[in-house]
């Protein structure tokens, strides 16, 4: 299973982590890829490592910048078939009682409103595709409560409602909309999380890792390449009857913690 050659794909936050893996997987499958990111240096590196990928620097919290970025992407790609809504920020770790309201607003502005803005700007272009597809990156935190991470969990649950609504609205135009819900993803970010937990708990990083894996049936963290492969599948003809679905990829995790 591969994406069709020439499939035109826009990926938000596509220069690092999961987004970079998705960009590289679509490019390897023969798609034409445009990635946006707030990190200009990371975009430079992506272009160097993946010839043919085009890029835009974009702050997802800036509505006008997002709207302009979509037009840049469509111009570079010659249209749009697939939108991968990957951009999001983790936000603070604090109880609701102690949450900084400005920090709450910042997470919603990127994770929810940014996703709304780029999707709204892309819909007219996706309607011109013979096989439009939108992929929304939610999270394990979009299935469970997540103590001390209320802004993040709230946005990831909100993206589920957004996905289901879009699927109902856009199905008549042949546009499919699905959400991917990753669990703990292997890489520098999860290691920083474990280091922070270890510092707070007095346990070792290895003990924090073991505690996290105890929550999963499959005792390993998710490889970004596996998430990328799922995204390529969902955008392919093999998934032409799949829409409005929430697809966990989390080693069968039993909670978000």
* 146 included as an active-site residue: no
CA distances from 107 to 33, 51, 90, 150, 192 (A): 26, 32, 7, 10, 19
Q: How many Cβ atoms sit within 10 Å of the Cβ of residue 57?
A: 17
Decide if 87 contacts 114 (C-beta within 8 A): yes
Nearest to 183, CA basis, from 150, 151, 212, 147: 212
Nearest to 16, CA basis, from 51, 67, 50, 62: 50
Q: Which of 26, 104, 152, 221 is catalytic?
A: 152
Whole-number Å distance between alpha carbons of 129 and 69: 19
Q: How many Cβ atoms sit within 10 Å of the Cβ of residue 240?
A: 11
- Identify the residue whose tokens are 């990127």: 110
Nearest to 255, CA basis, from 179, 143, 156, 177: 143
Whole-number Å distance between alpha carbons of 199 and 222: 24
Q: How many Cβ atoms sit within 10 Å of the Cβ of residue 187?
A: 16
E strand intervals along the chain: 8-12, 32-37, 54-57, 82-85, 133-137, 176-182, 246-249
CA distances from 252 to 10, 136, 181, 182, 247 (A): 29, 20, 11, 10, 11
Residues annotated as catalytic are 152
């Amino acid at each position: 299973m591969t994406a069709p050659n020439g499939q035109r794909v826009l990926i938000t936050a596509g220069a690092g982590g999961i987004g970079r893996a998705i960009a590289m997987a679509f490019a390897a499958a023969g798609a034409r890829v445009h990635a946006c990111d707030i990190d200009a240096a990371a975009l430079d590196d992506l272009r160097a490592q993946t010839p043919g990928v085009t890029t835009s620097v974009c702050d997802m919290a800036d509505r006008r910048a997002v709207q302009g970025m979509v037009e840049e992407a469509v111009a570079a790609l010659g249209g749009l078939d697939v939108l991968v809504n990957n951009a999001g920020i983790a936000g603070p770790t604090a109880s609701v009682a102690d949450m900084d309201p400005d920090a709450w607003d910042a997470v919603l502005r990127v994770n929810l409103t940014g996703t709304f803005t780029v999707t709204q700007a892309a819909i007219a272009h996706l309607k011109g595709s013979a096989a439009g597809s939108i992929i929304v990156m939610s999270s394990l935190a979009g299935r469970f409560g997540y103590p001390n991470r209320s802004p993040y969990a709230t946005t990831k649950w909100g993206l589920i409602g957004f996905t289901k609504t879009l699927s109902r609205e856009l199905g008549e135009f042949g546009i499919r909309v699905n959400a991917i819900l990753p669990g703990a993803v292997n890489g520098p970010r999860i290691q920083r999380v474990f280091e922070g937990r270890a510092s707070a708990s007095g346990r070792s990083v290895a003990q924090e890792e073991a505690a996290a894996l105890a929550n999963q049936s499959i005792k390993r963290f998710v490889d970004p390449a596996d998430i990328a492969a799922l995204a390529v599948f969902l955008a392919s003809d093999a998934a032409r009857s799949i829409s409005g679905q929430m697809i966990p990829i989390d080693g069968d995790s039993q909670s978000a913690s």
